[in-house]
Amino acid sequence: IFTKFKYSKEEIDAVAIRYLPSSRLKKKISIYSLGEGKKISLIIWELLTPKLSMMDEITNGLDYQALADLKKVLSEAKTDKIILLTGHDFSFYEDIIDNLYVLSDYKIIQEMKWKDYGVKGTYEKYFAPRN
């Protein structure tokens, strides 16, 4: 449905198998865990290959291998796509981001110079609650 049937079963399987074993892909999605559901979303994203993507908390529920694979896929994809990510897994994002922005009321209010402190350090310096 999402891909308008422009892919063969073999093409879909080639992408899907990177995220879920074929035995799991035969199960009903309603019994998938949070991480497995995220992996289905990533399979669809890879098949659609959009030029602009916005993803929120993409690391939630993913295991170590899925995170490593996702990091590789995003790093490769960002060369010819615009990918906007939000999340709190600072160490994951730090390795792949080019720019860090602060959003407020649906607007970009500031581009952060984050490389001196890292993503976590920048958050702690400017945004973390202080006692």
Per-residue pLDDT tens digits for 77-124 = 999 999 999 888 999 999 899 999 887 788 888 888 999 999 999 888
Q: What is the third-level CATH fold of 9-97?
A: Rossmann fold (3.40.50)
**C-alpha distances out from residue 16 to 28, 43, 66, 71, Å:** 15, 6, 12, 16
Q: Are 85 and 52 in contact (CB under 8 A)?
A: no
How many beta carbons lie within 10 A of that of residue 130, not counting itself?
Answer: 5
Per-residue pLDDT tens digits for 17-66 = 888 888 888 888 889 998 898 888 898 898 888 899 999 999 988 989 88
Q: Residue 56: which of 88, 25, 80, 27 has the closest Cα?
A: 88
Quickly tell me which residue has 């990177």 as its tokens: 18
Q: Are 99 and 52 in contact (CB under 8 A)?
A: no
What pTM did the predictor assign? 0.78
> At residue 86, what are phi and psi to the nearest 5 degrees?
-125, 150
What are the sequence ranges of the domains in the chain?
A: 9-97, 99-131
Q: Residue 122: which of 92, 100, 89 has the closest Cα?
A: 100
